[in-house]
Amino acid sequence: MSLLSCSLNPTHGFHSTLSTRIALNSPASDCSAFVLFALPPSIIIDRYELLDRRLTFELWGESNLELPVFAADQSDTVLLLNVTPTVPHSSDAIVDTDIPVHARYGTPESGRSKYYRIEVPPPTCFWACPHPVDMSSPSSQPPVANSAMLQPSTHFFVSPNAASTQSPSLEVPLGSLDDLPRVQAATTLVILFAFLWLVYRSCILADALQPRHLKEK
């Protein structure tokens, strides 16, 4: 198995798609192909989007999707994806995966920089087999611990070419502390306007109801 490409599209903004292309080179018919993503804390993966795409996966990491990056758990988000074809395939089959990813809000900074860059490491591709097969450098240790999907397997064969694949990056808009006084002033004016509008409408409603109340008396 080998990783042919790993890319993000688009490369700007809070929402993107992480795409990979993998050549299987199947070692045995009863082995399973997996892709393991270890993503930085600034990247969000929504498990419900993966379920909507009918993907077979396990996901570990920060479950609160609304937290900014400075408030989230700083451990990696880990996604294990089973990419074994469900129909018979040739030994040189190509598998494409598309994973929706989202960026957390970054820590605002002073200065002119309006973006921050998130580098996404290329995934690790490996075969998981229930018995030894004729491949070099097998391991009895799974690439990720505590995985229910890997429990039936005893031999793992990791693709060596992930390190040579360039890491795609995502540029995300970043709040500026220089804008904070203007934002606070605008927020105060909006709240004040809304309050005065409610007072004005309440007075009009009270004046409209008063003659009716006097007439009923």
Indicate if the pLDDT at residue 12 is higher than 90.
yes
Considering the domain architecture, whether residues 104 and 142 belong to the same structural domain is answered as yes
State both tokens at 133.
């097969």
Q: How many helices (H) and strands (E) does the chain have?
A: 2, 11
Considering the domain architecture, whether residues 121 and 183 belong to the same structural domain is answered as no
Cβ partners under 8 Å of residue 155, min gap 6? 128, 129, 130, 131, 132, 133, 138, 139, 140
pLDDT for the residue numbered 39: 94
What is the average pLDDT across 16-34? Answer: 85
Q: What total number of domains does the chain contain?
A: 2
For residue 101, what is the domain's CATH number? Answer: 2.60.40
Considering the domain architecture, whether residues 103 and 197 belong to the same structural domain is answered as no
| Distance, first Cα to last Cα, the chain | 88
Considering the domain architecture, whether residues 166 and 188 belong to the same structural domain is answered as no
In tens, the pLDDT along 121-140 reads 999 998 888 887 766 666 77
Considering the domain architecture, whether residues 165 and 202 belong to the same structural domain is answered as no
List the domain range (segments joined by +) for residue 189.
178-216
In terms of Cβ atoms closer than 10 Å to its own Cβ (0-12, 13-18, 19+), residue 33 is buried
Considering the domain architecture, whether residues 128 and 192 belong to the same structural domain is answered as no
Reported in sequence order, the residue ranges of 134-187 that DSSP labels E, i.e. its strands, are 155-158, 169-173
Could you give the CA distance from residue 120 to residue 134 in angstroms, rounded to a whole number? 32
Q: Residue 112 CB: number of other CB atoms within 10 A? A: 7
Indicate if the pLDDT at residue 208 is higher than 80.
no
User: CA 157 from chain center: how many Å?
Assistant: 26
Among 31, 54, 20, 51, which Cα is nearest to 123's? 20
pLDDT for the residue numbered 131: 80
pLDDT for the residue numbered 188: 94
pLDDT for the residue numbered 136: 65
Considering the domain architecture, whether residues 123 and 142 belong to the same structural domain is answered as yes
Considering the domain architecture, whether residues 142 and 189 belong to the same structural domain is answered as no
Mean pLDDT rounded to a whole number for the chain:
85
What is the average pLDDT across 61-77? Answer: 86
pLDDT for the residue numbered 49: 94
Indicate if the pLDDT at residue 92 is higher than 90.
no
Considering the domain architecture, whether residues 101 and 146 belong to the same structural domain is answered as yes
User: One-letter amino acid identity for 127?
Assistant: W
- The fraction of the chain above a pLDDT of 90, given in percent, is 40
pLDDT for the residue numbered 153: 82
What is the average pLDDT across 115-125? Answer: 90
State both tokens at 13.
């903004």
Could you give the CA distance from residue 156 to residue 134 in angstroms, rounded to a whole number? 12
What is the pTM assigned to this prediction?
0.78
pLDDT for the residue numbered 30: 80
Considering the domain architecture, whether residues 127 and 200 belong to the same structural domain is answered as no
pLDDT for the residue numbered 192: 95
In tens, the pLDDT along 196-206 reads 999 998 888 88
Task: Say if CB 68 and CB 116 are below 8 A apart.
Answer: no
In tens, the pLDDT along 43-63 reads 999 999 999 999 999 999 888
Question: Dihedrals φ, ψ of 20, to 5°?
Answer: -130, 150
Indicate if the pLDDT at residue 96 is higher than 60.
yes
Considering the domain architecture, whether residues 205 and 100 belong to the same structural domain is answered as no
Strand order in the sheet with 124-129: 56-60, 77-82, 32-39, 124-129, 155-158
Considering the domain architecture, whether residues 167 and 205 belong to the same structural domain is answered as no
pLDDT for the residue numbered 130: 85
